[in-house]
Amino acid sequence: MGSLRNTEDPGDTEGAPFAECVLCRAPTEYPESTKGVTLCPRCEWQEAQRTACSG
């Protein structure tokens, strides 16, 4: 099953407004123009933990 999170490299985001995390609404490291599901580093880590342990 494919991952919902965005795997696109955030690249140079200097001066760009940041997208909100879809889970906790905290700012992410991705610009607002990024398509797909954007997660903050904390939620991204938690999601990785959940999917790693699901057999």
Q: Is the pTM of this model over 0.75?
A: no
pLDDT value of residue 16:
73
Q: State pLDDT tens for residues 4-52.
A: 556 555 555 456 799 999 999 999 999 999 999 999 999 999 999 998 8
- Could you identify the residue written with the tokens 């700012």? 27
End-to-end CA distance of the chain: 12
CA 5 to chain centre: 6
